[in-house]
Amino acid sequence: MPRVSLYFRGEKFEGEFEEGTLLADAIKNLLGWFILPCGGRGICGNCRVRVLEGMLSAPTKVEKKFGYTGKYRLACQARLKGDASLEVESLGERLVVYGVEPLGFDTDPLCEGVGAGIDVGSSKIAGVLIDFGSGRNVAEGFAINPQVGWGLDVISRISVIVRRRDELEKMSRETLKAVSKLIYSLLKKAGREHVDCAVFTGNSVALPITFGIDPTPLGYYPYENPLNEVIELNGEKKNLQARKVLVLPAIKSFVGSDASTAILATLMHGFSKYTVMADIGINTEIAYIVNKEKFLVTSAPAGPAIEGGELSCGSTALQGAASYAYYDAEKRKVVLIPERSEKVGLSGSAIVALIASLVDHGIVDGSGRIMLPDGEVNGVKFVSLGARLRLTQKDIREFQKAKAAISTAINLLIRKVGRFPLSLVLAGSMGSSVDVKSAYKIGLFPRVDNVFQYGNLALVGAKLYMVSSRARRLYEEIRGKAEHVGVMEDTNYQELWMKCLSLTQCEV
């Protein structure tokens, strides 16, 4: 079997793999992670690796398009044909987000030594370790947020706490345990012993729960967020392997600190005028950056369906679900990528791509109705996705409601500003992997000329907060200047939401 020698940040990793293995799969196996910004679909050209020597498959059309046919190849395209020696250039080094560096970066860290940035999302906890001496990431990873055991959506978790107050302590204990394990694994990976300081950002509900703060005020009007100021803790008392812990506050209501740090990262990457930033997920957070002095922020309760959750054919991307799907007119069947994902289900990105493709081929109409079903079960029409999976009419309706929540919120912010945005910045695991053309087709986002897809901007913002005094000042300015817009209280919300249920573009 071909043997791979992989060089990453001065370290060497080795392993044997079957001939024909994708470089991305080999690298993931050796490092334990590897970022594929577009989900490995070959549309971004950002997963390049340097080939020091070795035998690889011939360059694909995609690689030729991006010009990676020699010493650099795309990990999502090139396959092993024999022994190979590779070098991975970290996409996260020097606080780079997929090749874009922050502007006006200064180094004035919160502490000396090693820092940890933690983003507590509704379903996933992401973490990164930074060596303040070099300013580089030394380890990164993620863990499942155990709060999903109390409900995929945050409202379910609030309801549980309202009914049984002692559940808050259990949720907090389990989440802190997961964070502690994540930090420990990152320290082990980086060969370090402890974290000198840590900054926590996160979801408006999941983050307060993590630290045992009662989130129930978010369960009723006026939806006050209990985490409204920076909290400083002794992390060691929480078994977090961090001497100093800062928990960043929410902006307001369901717009959490993850939105603040994502806006911070967006601004420090040069997007400072007429830019919509959307962190797509169960609780989608949206900001319209009008200029450096004016920010409109809101949240859209999309629910689990937007990520594939609670759909009969859906699953989260964390569980090995399909990252892409389309209807093959010649074969008259739905194709899932990867094919083995049929045993698991479709991620949110795959659902978006599939529904857009089905609309394109007339299988589903603009209203969301299945026009050419493969069959019915108990009177419910479905499109077959293989031997195990079906996309049902109910699945489509649930997705439409999630899609409508996001597109309505974005359009209402645009209406309030009175000017169409110049740029759209998509963040989060789904934002970085969703096929933009498919999203446009079904009206998930308005057709903005300049679209940029990034990964976890919230975590990048947390890193910036740790290492830069300028970033910390800007963070406070963002919180002070951000204008919270309660879109569901808008008199036009229901009317626009009904229009946005269609699988077409909503008119602003």
Q: CA 275, CA 490: separation in Å to the nearest integer?
A: 22
pLDDT value at position 9? 61
Q: CA 504, CA 496: separation in Å to the nearest integer?
A: 13
Domains of the chain (ranges; CATH) run: 3-89 (3.10.20.30), 114-259 (3.30.420.480)
Give Cα 384 to chain centroid, integer Å: 28
Q: CA 163, CA 445: separation in Å to the nearest integer?
A: 37
pLDDT value at position 67? 81
Q: Quick one: which of 28, 44, 24, 34 has its CA closest to 434?
A: 44
Q: For residues 279 and 428, is the Cβ–Cβ distance under 8 A?
A: yes
Q: For residues 3 and 15, is the Cβ–Cβ distance under 8 A?
A: yes
Mean pLDDT by 10-residue block, N- to C-terminus, for the chain (508 residues)?
A: 85 90 87 59 75 94 86 92 84 34 64 94 91 84 89 89 95 95 94 94 97 95 93 90 93 94 90 92 94 94 88 73 90 86 83 97 97 94 90 97 97 96 91 91 93 90 92 93 92 94 87
- Residue 223 burial (C-beta neighbours within 10 Å; 0-12, 13-18, 19+): middle
The type of residue at 479 is: R
> Tokens at residue 64, please?
């030729």
> Tokens at residue 438, please?
């498919």
pLDDT value at position 98? 37
Angle (CA) 36-206-455 rounded to 5° is: 15
Q: Quick one: which of 283, 313, 348, 342 has its CA closest to 151?
A: 283
Provide the total of helices (H) and of strands (E) in the chain, helices listed first: 13, 22
Q: CA 395, CA 374: separation in Å to the nearest integer?
A: 15
Q: For residues 195 and 116, is the Cβ–Cβ distance under 8 A?
A: yes
pLDDT value at position 38? 52
